[in-house]
A and B are shown apart, each in its own frame.
Chain A
Amino acid sequence: MGDPIMKGKAVPHMIGLFPLGMMSLFFLAPLAFMVVVSFYERDPLGFYKVAFVWDNYSKFFSSFYYVISLRSLWSASLGAVIVVLLAFPAMYIIVDMSRRWQLFWVILLLSLMCLSEVIIGFAWLILFSENSGIPKFLGWAGLWEDPRSLSPSFGAMMVGYVTLGFSLVALMFLPQLARRDRSIEEAALTLGTPPMRVFSKVILPNFKAGLISALVTMFVYFLGVFVMPTMLGRPQDWNMTVIITDKAVGDANMPLGAALSVVMLIFTLIIIGSLAYASRTREQGERS
């Protein structure tokens, strides 16, 4: 009697081997190689020497690289929060529109996703420049006496982040929001709860899991952006991705680049892990 069940289980297990194999080939193997390289010794004239040294990691703590990594964590989390705060209510409004308008917005969001980072960066660069775009317009309208270029700046970079992430997050929320059980909100409304309170006390808690996963997705995505910080940000805003590229490709310092990547990876894992843990314990607390 046990046999047929065991056989029945073997097939899904076999299917499971496929993603595992793909993961190992395309993700785990390069990752493992990166960890290995991060212990190699830097050869200032050439490339690297095969060795086992901690120099690359000690460099992270002895120089201001940790300042840069704190900065990238800050800008990535800020960007993620802004994007989610904007995209969630926007999608909430869109799903209640007529079918035609819904379609319009969804197509618009999808086409925004087709634009490459470089094109978005260039578009904002022109819009933020002193001689054309927003400052020029504000000067012409008499709203700004001495119009100056708005980029490079932290704000310009954040605008770039939001443009990049907005459509992605909005579309992540689309199925959840469209299929939600509206009777709960209706019940709250008929019981006399003001709409804003319904949003904060009923809708938001209902979508907590979705919101957190959107936050985490955006956070990880923004940690890895390269074009926005270099095009729209000042050197003070450059994130770890930029520095890693500079070190690994620019200075041909692969071991340091690898070590910095490993450190960033650990940071990211800790943050995602603690977020997931926090949301789980809170859920359990609420249930008991």
Chain B
Amino acid sequence: MNSVKTLAIAAGLATAMVSNSSAEEITVSAWGGFFEETLKSAIYPGFTEETGIEVRSIAQPADQAWLTQLTNAARAKKAPADLSLVADEVFIRGQSIGLWANLDAADIPNTATLLDGFTKESEDGALNAVGALTWFTTFVTNTDAAPDAPTSWADLWTRDWDGKLGLTSNSNSGLIEATALTFFDGYDTMETREGLEQIIAKIAELKPQVQLWYRDEGQFQQSLEAGELAGGLYYHDVTMLSAADGRPVTSTFPQEGGILGDAYWIVPRDSKNIDAAEQFINYMIRPDIQAKLARNLGVAPVAKRETMDLTDEEFAAISTTGNAIRTQTAIHLREGDWLSDKYLEMISR
């Protein structure tokens, strides 16, 4: 009896080893927490099923910290992952120092179904990144503490929040853009340093109402759900998921629009599995997978609306047909250090 069992186990192990050695494996990194866990459990297995390529999923830290790690790894000619999900700004900064591998556009035919602007090329025309998803940052409130949903970003300034607002300490959250559109001449005001200073002074008016300038997203979410905070700026997708769990929170698209962020798949220059990575990207941008991402994660798709089978209701829950506020990445990069210092000085004085 025992020997039969041993034999069976040995045979099982042998098959497992054989199949392992024949299958490829790629390492994919994405923002940690619920996000990465959902990708790992709901999205990646389908890819492995179709292609036989195993996906090792790892969580990556916040954007800038990850860029620093990628840069350091590139100096040592290493790639911490074969694929990474990066925000717009990280993509541009990495591209400027040649961190990303050139991809073969012919291997990723599904780019045809993408919305405009979601393929990013290098100066000599090589494909460097493909859109992965977009997300909205909106005005979120605790429905017990603030029963009336806000209608405009101006509500941040005009309502009495009882000193219970939560805003991010990061100058690149989109609040500068929202303020520019609500109170000034829009993005044009951001073109000059005088304009940016006026916007920051306007944001400074909020200081008495702000209890938490959050650095850690988890802390904001927890405080909002507990009613410790009445409202603030946060991710639409996470808030809607937590509302679906029965928490007293809601996310509102103000009339000026939600703040739209976009993320891209990139392959670090020193990755050894570029072919498999291209297959992975091609899979991730396919309209049915984009719809699946929207349903599971609540993020807004990068595929054209008509290519997906999302109902109008499903689409309205994750995205908006109204205005979208775009983070002015070029300005943030140009004014980088100056702007982040000014912002820090404002919140911490």
Contact = CB atoms under 8 A, between A and B. Distances in A.
A157 B322 CA distance: 43
Contacts of A68: 348
A230 B215 contact: yes
B336 A44 contact: yes
Given A130-B228, A238-B348, A44 B333 contact: yes
B96 A45 contact: yes
Contacts of B67: 252
B219 A129 contact: no
A228 to B, nearest CB: 13
A46 interface: yes
Contacts of B163: 148
Contacts of A67: 349
A235 B64 contact: no
B96 to A, nearest CB: 4
Contacts of A152: 211-212
Interface stretch (B153-161, B302-310, B338-346): B338-346
Interface residues of B, number: 32
Contacts of B62: 250
Interface in A227-277: 230-231, 234-236, 238, 243, 246, 248-253, 256
A131 B64 contact: no
Interface in B82-130: 92-93, 96-97
A236 B213 CA distance: 10
A64 interface: yes
Contacts of A253: 337
Given A44-B333, A131-B226, A231-B219, A63 B211 contact: no
Nearest to A129: B228
Contacts of A230: 215-216
A131 B344 contact: no
A163 interface: no
Contacts of B134: none
B348 A235 contact: yes
Contacts of B227: 130-131
Interface in A15-70: 42-47, 63-64, 67-68
B68 interface: yes
Contacts of B228: 129-131, 149
A230 to B, nearest CB: 6
B71 interface: yes
Nearest to A64: B345
A129 B229 CA distance: 11
User: Which secondary structure characterizes the binding site on chain A?
Assistant: loop
Contacts of A149: 211, 228
Interface in B206-224: 211-213, 215-216, 219, 223
Nearest to A71: B348
B348 A46 contact: no
Nearest to B342: A63
B146 interface: no
B11 interface: no
A250 B337 CA distance: 11
A283 B333 CA distance: 57
A250 B215 CA distance: 11
Which has the most chain B C-beta neighbours within 10 Å: A45, A63, A230?
A: A45
A234 B213 contact: yes
A44 B348 CA distance: 23
Given A129-B226, A152-B211, A252 B348 contact: no
B87 to A, nearest CB: 13
Given A46-B96, A152-B211, A249 B64 contact: yes
Given A44-B337, A230-B215, A64 B349 contact: yes
A233 to B, nearest CB: 10
A63 B333 contact: no
A243 B216 contact: no
Nearest to A47: B71
Given A149-B211, A243-B344, A47 B97 contact: yes
Nearest to A254: B68
B341 A63 contact: yes
Nearest to B93: A45
B98 to A, nearest CB: 9
A230 B217 CA distance: 12
Contacts of B71: 46-47, 252
B206 to A, nearest CB: 13
B64 A46 contact: no
Nearest to B69: A249
Interface of B: 62, 64-65, 67-68, 71, 92-93, 96-97, 163, 169, 211-213, 215-216, 219, 223, 226-228, 333, 336-337, 340-341, 344-345, 347-349
16 contacts: A45-B96, A46-B97, A47-B71, A64-B345, A125-B219, A131-B227, A152-B212, A230-B215, A231-B219, A235-B213, A235-B347, A236-B348, A236-B349, A248-B68, A250-B65, A252-B64
Which 8 pairs from chain A and chain B are nearest by CB? A235-B348, A46-B97, A45-B96, A235-B347, A250-B64, A249-B65, A252-B68, A235-B213
Given A47-B71, A235-B347, A253-B337, 7 more contacts: A42-B337, A44-B333, A130-B227, A131-B227, A230-B215, A231-B216, A235-B169
